[in-house]
Structure 1
């Protein structure tokens, strides 16, 4: 994408996303709906000012990674585990119902081949954590029991979706289910979710120790982006959703972080608070880009009514 087209597209995305997001908030509706509507308005569905492009898609992905980082900062790992059984139940329903219903509809009414129908059903098991938690945050319910159940279920759904699609891909490629590769994938993702927050926390102590004594404006924001990019890359390298990288960094910054290391190391509350404060403008800029791009990715004119 040429630089003139890029900056114009970014201008339109930020402008219309902000305008319609604020308009929907004043109507007591989720700002997310306004931002997606903005994407539909300026995208191929209506005005056609912006078309989907790989560069914009990457920025949108960064936006949802930053959004999950901000959600992780406010999440209590203890309360997330307390909601475990309920989250698992909701996640199982969220996996089974789309897979069965969509698979059956695709097979019976769209007359797709059996494997294609199953693949489509499994593809729709994944949820959008970003949409769910942005709506919950606006309603000030993200720290409620319901918020933790929805968050836990959404994480499980996304991981399960990746595993299911991996199984189907292995079957389509080799004719075998491939339980061993899928089992290794589960272990890698589980190890990442368990080990990444403490590792990110240790890196926080390191970066705090080497912070220059003179006031360096932007130091905390730069360190935040370094950690987010590192752990998003690690998550992707392990075939997990990259947004989980942002989430685990947020957990590491959380005041409610729980670790055996806490008894030996002083909690870096002032440093992590500055990291949250200085990174908030980044979240405010990039998160709406994701939702506007969702609308841009739609082309409602292609729907055959």
Structure 2
């Protein structure tokens, strides 16, 4: 490839990426779909801007190698042990059941050979890690119950992809007239053992030696050398290069250099993985979609329905998810995955499947991946509309004997308040509107907890708010927080409201409603972290506590002063600047010997740990 042609190809790739990826991300469809669309548009079947698709595919495959190396870095034994039930429970069942059913369907319905059915069944059982994790991150649902379950299944699928990739050359070697090639199998086992043993005893000393050079470029070169070296060795012994990269990552998962390696590899991985998806889009047989639309649509629908139908009961029974979360899990993981592209290409090159079968399956997998973001959005809207029209369960009938305290929201903050009140034998009623939270808390025999919306006047009457003394507003939704405060202040003006505030603006709005001093949810924990930071810098515990106490008093005064002008941005900025100068003067005055002597002889300040939550 001459330099002019290379620059032209590079410009085409960059331009297509810059246009397609932001568009798909803007509609929350993910960057992977943008790469695929860009590949289709610039590919030989549409605009034909890039002709050397084979050369591009060869370079881009290194992106998959780097991705597997990073996945291997994440698979430390400790992490797998903590997640063993989800990973080796739901994940194992999903891969085995899906592989078996798809493989049997291919064997009996489509007349595939046993080896082709096994490879196709295993590859289609995998889902897209890139799509799944990206969608969870964009929707901020990675920490939800179904998000954690999805991550565990994807983690096992990544593990399952390794033996599947390694099985392709072994199955191909068994096509010889002598059956399974024992020499090739022995060479493969020897190569894997060499990588494991060599990595165990050589990699850490090598990285330790390189680290002494204190040169970032040398560390990056060493990381790439390890990945490329193990990948090359695996190819020499007849195994996929991706297996070597994965083994290298696993061997370094517990290394002290793991995070540094990941930071060096990540930029290369992102660029080359994007190039890989573009090359997949370029290789898509779009004409086949135009010539056989019914067959392609039937295969796409069949794959989504089959995987979704298997994922839903697994999420419900094995994963313990609710119906709605199990449906979200099924929509997220019903698509095909990027590892299937690698497996199917190797299977085609090893003549386990035909080029036509590989082209058709790549088209089907790509279309399922393209539909996944749309299905996830539609599923979320459907579940939200159903939840608005009809609650999944009726609100509890509240039976309490004259509680002294009512707690609205029984999450992290409300539970701590409730535990102390229960220990003090203070009667209280807690109202929680989250069904998932209720199901979790009811296991701990919370007899004072009831399912209901604290913003409803009839539930507050049933909770006997007119007889209570204190109303603890602990919900984590600022808008709901303000609605409840407004209702309580209007109907029960005698109640003292102790309210949780997200930030200063939220605190100002609560003060508008008559809440005397809202408790900012991260304020006291931040003060304690500040004190620990000062102590780590060498300040004595007494001086650090004194500085933090003075800041706390100063900030409370500032909050009250800014409340009077919080709707005036100019005055708010001015008061913040003036407050910083005042605080610096206070600390400078504290360094005066006379002031220091007066503080030491006065009553010691309360330790901040006593004010922590």
Q: TM-score range by the shorter chain?
A: 0.7 to 0.9
2:101 paired with 1:97 = yes
Match of 2:285 among 291, 295, 299: 299
Match of 2:123 among 123, 127, 133: 127
Match of 2:171 among 158, 167, 172: 167
Residue 112 (structure 1) aligns with: none
How far off its partner does 1:59 sit?
Answer: 1.1
With normalisation by structure 2, the TM-score equals 0.40
2:206 paired with 1:207 = yes
What is the CA–CA distance in structure 2 between the aligned matches of 1:15 and 1:52, rounded to whole Å? 17
How far off its partner does 1:55 sit?
Answer: 2.2
Residue 153 (structure 1) aligns with: 157
Residue 279 (structure 1) aligns with: 265
* 1:179 to 1:249, Cα distance in 2 relative to 1, 3 A: closer
Deviations 1:116-173 (A, max 9, x none): 55454334235389972222332345994532332323432452365366336524x3
Q: Superposition pairs for residues 17-166 of structure 1, below 5 Å? A: 17-80=17-80, 82=84, 83-107=87-111, 117-127=113-123, 132-138=128-134, 139-140=136-137, 141=142, 144-157=148-161, 159-160=163-164, 162-163=166-167, 166=170
How far off its partner does 1:287 sit?
Answer: 1.3
Instruction: Specify the structure having the higher radius of gyration (Cα).
Output: 2
User: Structure 2 stretches of 5 or more lacking a match?
Assistant: 293-613
Residue 180 (structure 2) aligns with: 178
Residue 188 (structure 1) aligns with: 189
More helix by share: 1
- 1:35 and 1:291 in contact (8 A); partners too: yes
Partner SS, residue 45 of structure 1? coil
- 1:38 and 1:292 in contact (8 A); partners too: yes
Partner SS, residue 151 of structure 1? helix
Which gives a bigger RCO, structure 1 or 2 (Cα 8 Å, sep 6+)?
1
Residue 289 (structure 1) aligns with: 275
User: Structure 1 stretches of 5 or more lacking a match?
Assistant: 108-115, 258-266
How far off its partner does 1:104 sit?
Answer: 3.1
How far off its partner does 1:62 sit?
Answer: 0.4
How far off its partner does 1:196 sit?
Answer: 4.3
Partner SS, residue 235 of structure 1? helix
How far off its partner does 1:231 sit?
Answer: 1.4
Range with greater deviation from structure 2 (27-36 or 233-242): 233-242
- 1:67 and 1:130 in contact (8 A); partners too: no
- 1:88 and 1:152 in contact (8 A); partners too: yes
Partner SS, residue 216 of structure 2? coil
* 1:162 to 1:75, Cα distance in 2 relative to 1, 3 A: closer
Count of residues in Structure 1 that have an aligned counterpart in Structure 2: 279
Range with greater deviation from structure 2 (98-107 or 223-232): 98-107
